[in-house]
Amino acid sequence: MKKIISWLLPIALGIILAIGIQTYLVSFVRVDGSSMQPNLTNNERVFLLRKQPIKRFSVVIFDAYQVAPGGATKGSNFIKRVIAVPGGDRIKYTKQGNLYINGKLVPQKFISKTQRTTETLANVAPLTVLT
Bigger pLDDT: 120 vs 79? 79
Q: Active-site residue among 35, 76, 92, 112? A: 35
**Per-residue pLDDT for 73 more than 60?**
yes
Question: Of how many residues is the chain composed?
Answer: 131
Bigger pLDDT: 9 vs 115? 9
Burial of 79 (0-12, 13-18, 19+ CB in 10 A): buried
- Report the SS3 class of residue 100: strand
Q: What is the pTM of this model?
A: 0.65
Q: Is residue 35 among the annotated active site residues?
A: yes
When pLDDT is averaged across residues 68-81 and rounded to a whole number, the result is: 75
Bigger pLDDT: 126 vs 69? 69
Query: Which amino acid does the sequence have at 85?
Result: V
Bigger pLDDT: 68 vs 49? 49
Q: Active-site residue among 34, 58, 80, 95? A: 80
DSSP 26: E
What is the pLDDT of the chain when averaged over all its residues? 80
